[in-house]
Every structure is written in structure tokens, then in C-alpha cells.
Amino acid sequence: SEKWEIDPSELTVMKELGSGQFGVVRLGKWRALCKVAIKTINEGAMHEEDFIEEAKIMMRLCHPKLVQLYGVCTRQRPMCIVTEFMENGCLLNYLRQNGGTAGQTWLLSVCQDTCEAMQYLETHHFIHRDLAARNCLVSDKNVVKVCDFGMTRYVLDNQYTSSTGSKFPVKWSPPEVLHYNKYSSKSDVWSFGVLMWEVFTEGKMPFDGRSNVDVVDEITRGHRLYRPHKASNDVYQLMYQCWHEVTHTHRHRHTDTPTHTHTHTHTPTHT
């Protein structure tokens, strides 16, 4: 059988870890030894066929700061996704619960861990599309890893996929995503800056109290998040540089009719 296919009989399901965009996630054991996270996919929550195609590619993304995809169980419904297990759960909750005691050193190591993961994704032309503290996990050794990269492409909930939807990550999105839906590693860099702000505020909500509509307006007018108290000027400068407006490559209409038109079709390995 294909190596991305996991035999469900080799999985034992244990306690519930929580529920995410696609459904319940549980702690399990694979071949009775290896602790894993088992994500059960609710009917109608995911573009399943498209994801199963992509899973073959995602299996090849291996990095110590990426939550590893181990495989999928697609021969029964509901299907499930099996990944590396991270004992200390979601970074956002971890910051809110342990933030106060965390020293600057750990806060900076969190940014370094996630930066290493994102550098790896960029070199593999892979865009996360929803980098945020809520989509990072903490290991038993307090190492932080990036999770659910690229999964936004398979979400069927249009409250999440539409940029005017209640679940769209407006506060982590750059102007070119908000206005033109233009995703790139540069838009991941913008989100990384907001993630740094979340880390140094120990889990505050960015633009707290303001609506998504207000934030689109503020960002478009050039406003940016303030310096967190725990962030030095250097750290703030770093996150601030992530929020540079990218110069828009407008499509110029040719005035003269070109003698010949050739189209470059470059399909990147990952979109």
C-alpha cells in the first residue's frame, strides 16, 4: 500500500486534545509505541480529494521545527490525519498560561524556532497562509513547531476562507492579501511579524477590541502594532520590518500590440 496511507488497525485512540477547523483531534498510539495526534475530519469540512493529493507532497516536508505529517487514513470515513504529537499543546494558550514566568530568552527562542520552520517552508516554495501563535505547538522540551501549514486551501467553511468571513485571520494578513488575495512567502513574513508581537505580548490579541473591518482600514492607512513592553527596540524593529507594504506589481496593459505572445507557465512545486 502507499506509504502515506496508515492502517487504522495500527492506531489506538486515547484522550481528546481539542477540536480544530476540521474536527476533533485526539492523542493516540501508532503500533502501540509511538505517540501521535489523530485528526478526525468531519464530513463536509474539507476538500478531501485535493488534500489527499497534497498529503503526498506534505509528507516530504521534514524539519525539526515543523509538526511532522506521518500519514493519512483515507480508506474509511471519516478520514483522519496522523501527525507528530506535541505534549504542551497550542503556543497561544501556553503563552497566556506561562507567559509571565517566561524570560526574554525563551520568548526569543520561540521566534527563532518558528523562523527556522518558515525559512524551510520558503526554500521549498511552500506557503503557510495562516501563521499565528494559535497554529504553533509546544513540545515536552518547550520547543515550538509550526503546524497545519498549507491546510487553509482545503477548508470548506467560507466564514474562514472569505476575507470578509468572521474566521478569516485579518489581523495576521498583509494589505495584498486583504485587497487582492495575493499569498506569497512575503505574506507569511507579515504573519510572522504578528506572531512575534503575540510572543512578546505573551498572547495578547493584536489590535485588541478593534473589529476586522477597522483593522483593514488602519493597516491600509499605514498604522502598525505598538512595541510590546517586553520587546527591545531591536526585537520591535525586526517585527516592524515584517509589516512593510510590498510594492504592487500592477499588470501593465501593453499599448502596442505585441508581435507574438508567449506565456511562461512556471508551476512552482508547491503553491
Ligand X SMILES: Cn1cc(-c2ccnc(-n3ncc4cc(C(C)(C)C)cc(F)c4c3=O)c2CO)cc(Nc2ccncn2)c1=O
Does position 11 bind ligand X by CB under 6 A? no
User: What's the chain's Rg over C-alpha atoms?
Assistant: 20
* H or E segment to which residue 213 belongs: helix 212-220
Does position 18 bind ligand X by CB under 6 A? yes
CB burial of 69-79 (b: ≥16 within 10 Å; e: otherwise) equals bbbbbbeeebb
Compare residues 6 and 86 and give the one whose CB is closer to ligand X.
86
Angle at 12 between CA 9 and CA 13, to 5 degrees: 125
Binding mask 112-141 for ligand X (x = CB under 6 A): ------------------x----x-x----
Q: Which of 52, 82, 86, 235 binds ligand X (CB under 6 A)?
A: 86
Which of 113, 130, 148, 188 is the catalytic position?
A: 130
DSSP letters spanning 160-195: HHSTTSTTS-GGG--HHHHHH---SHHHHHHHHHHH
Instruction: Tell me if residue 130 is catalytic.
Output: yes
C-alpha closest to that of 137 among 71, 204, 84: 84
Asked whether 170 and 229 are in contact (CB, 8 A), the reply is no
Binding mask 199-228 for ligand X (x = CB under 6 A): ------------------------------
Q: Which of 39, 126, 195, 225 binds ligand X (CB under 6 A)?
A: 39
CB of 19 to ligand X, least distance (A): 6
Contact set with ligand X (CB under 6 A): 17-22, 25, 37, 39, 67, 83, 85-87, 89, 130, 135, 137, 147-148, 151-152, 155
Active-site positions read 130
